[in-house]
């Protein structure tokens, strides 16, 4: 996947994760994109570890995988790092 694909996937996954997670998280587009790209890595790793496959393009499966990963990152941030 190219850098543009990662950015698009990151924006979609980060926005979906912030929309699904209740509460005020703050951050703008850059934070959302970073959250989504990090979520794609985390989701891809977890998906590969569990045998579901990773984030390998802009398709529904990759968006779901990246969104779950971004949701996990957002949950960890809200529970442990924000205090």
CB 36 within 8 A of CB 17: yes
- CA dist 30 and 54 (Å) reads 23
Confidence label for 53 from pLDDT (cuts 50, 70 and 90) = low
- CA dist 22 and 8 (Å) reads 23
The pLDDT score that the predictor gives to residue 83 is: 57
| Residue linked to tokens 């949950």 | 75
CB 17 within 8 A of CB 30: no
| Residue linked to tokens 């989504």 | 36
Q: What is the mean pLDDT of residues 27-51?
A: 76
19 compared with 27, residue with greater pLDDT = 19
Nearest to 65 by CA among 45, 37, 44: 44
């Amino acid at each position: 996947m190219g850098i543009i694909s990662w950015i698009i996937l990151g924006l979609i996954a980060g926005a979906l994760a912030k929309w699904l997670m209740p509460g005020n998280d703050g951050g703008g587009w850059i934070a959302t994109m970073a959250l989504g790209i990090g979520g794609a890595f985390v989701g891809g790793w977890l998906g590969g570890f569990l045998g579901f496959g990773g984030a390998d393009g802009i398709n529904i499966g990759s968006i779901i995988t990246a969104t779950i990963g971004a949701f996990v990152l957002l949950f960890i941030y809200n529970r442990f790092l924000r205090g």
